[in-house]
Amino acid sequence: MNIADVYKAETVKECIKLLAKHKETKIISGGTDLVIKLNEGQIEGISLVDISSIKELNFVKIEGNTIHIGSNSTFSDVLNHKSIFPKSIKGFVEALESVGSPQIRNAGTIGGNICNGSPAADSIPPLIVLGAKLTIISKKRERIVDIEDFFLGKGKVDLGSNELLKSISFDIPNEDSKLNFYKYSYRNALSITLGSVAALIDIQNNIVQDIKIATGGFSAYCIREREMEELMIGKELNEENLNYLLNSAKKIVQKRIETFPNDFKVLKNITIEGALRHVIR
């Protein structure tokens, strides 16, 4: 392992100052992804800005109809507020509960999960369907980005080297909607995601009034699946329509992985079908 300098930030102000001053830095908080890469020598020679002590970014609050989560909140911190979350975001809670293990949830932060831009980050699909907004700050300015637009490529996100993700906010969906989440994995704990799907769905008299779908693991990054949504809006929730969606979803996914080996394609077909079946209900 090889690390140049370490700077510790206690406040947001200190942090953005440090980020402005030092190039070639990486932010470390929970460390659950970064330390593996450092230890394996995948990342070498960089400097680190440690934000794990910035308390002002560790919060969960409900203001009016909006939930705000500080980027430095660990998964466990957020889950500790489970009881004040409305039922309609159950899938968000389930997604956080499905992350790694208790140890990982106690250390890993929601901000870290988002900023890594991993294609299979568990917390992101629910946040996408909730239309979460990210508040990003640098020494010069503060800006707000739709989480959907934040991801640019595998591991690539819209975050400058001088910027810090401050918080994540989303509106509580209306009472008629429910948020379902399913993570497809090999075993019951500690498992990397084969694929995950979140759906925010409003069903009245068995008709899908509105639906938002987002997936993880079916593209270079977590994305909103508008094409799939279109197929269900206004439709009756029955086996025939569901099958139509599943078959189309497979085609949509297959198009993205045309050049991949056959085994992988089959795996993705099975995964998207199974996960969708669990969330469209």
Pick the stretch among 116-124, 128-136, 151-159, 190-198 that binds another protein (CB under 8 A). Answer: 190-198
Residue with tokens 């930030």: 9
Radius of gyration of the chain (CA): 19
273 is a contact residue toward another protein (CB under 8 A):
yes
CB of 179 to another protein, least distance (A): 19
Comparing CB distances to another protein, the nearer of 50 and 158 is 50
Pick the stretch among 82-90, 95-103, 142-150, 218-226 that binds another protein (CB under 8 A). Answer: 95-103
Which residues within the stretch 2-61 sit at the binding site for another protein (CB under 8 A)? 2-6, 8, 28, 30-32, 35-36, 38-39, 48, 50, 52-53
Give counts: helices (H), strands (E), the chain. 11, 14
Q: Is residue 156 within 8 Å of 163, Cβ to Cβ?
A: no
Comparing CB distances to another protein, the nearer of 47 and 138 is 47
CB of 145 to another protein, least distance (A): 28
92 is a contact residue toward another protein (CB under 8 A):
no
Which residues within the stretch 107-126 sit at the binding site for another protein (CB under 8 A)? 107
Comparing CB distances to another protein, the nearer of 39 and 65 is 39
Q: Which of 62, 144, 190, 233 binds another protein (CB under 8 A)?
A: 190
CA distance 72 to 115: 11
CB of 188 to another protein, least distance (A): 4
Q: What is the DSSP string of 73-92?
A: -BHHHHHTTGGGS-GGGHHH
H/E run at residue 93: helix 90-97
Q: Is residue 57 within 8 Å of 162, Cβ to Cβ?
A: no
Which residues within the stretch 230-269 sit at the binding site for another protein (CB under 8 A)? 266-267, 269
CA distance 47 to 41: 14
Comparing CB distances to another protein, the nearer of 31 and 131 is 31
Q: Which of 62, 84, 152, 192 binds another protein (CB under 8 A)?
A: 192
Q: Which of 151, 72, 94, 93 is nearest to 118 (CA)?
A: 151
Q: What is the DSSP string of 230-274?
A: HHHTT-B-SHHHHHHHHHHHHHHHHHHTTTS-HHHHHHHHHHHHH
Which residues within the stretch 216-235 sit at the binding site for another protein (CB under 8 A)? none
CA distance 169 to 70: 9
How far from 71 is each of 110, 167, 236, CA to CA, in Å? Answer: 6, 5, 39
101 is a contact residue toward another protein (CB under 8 A):
yes
Residue numbers of the site for another protein (CB under 8 A)?
1-6, 8, 28, 30-32, 35-36, 38-39, 48, 50, 52-53, 76, 100-104, 106-107, 184, 186-192, 194, 266-267, 269-271, 273-275, 277-278
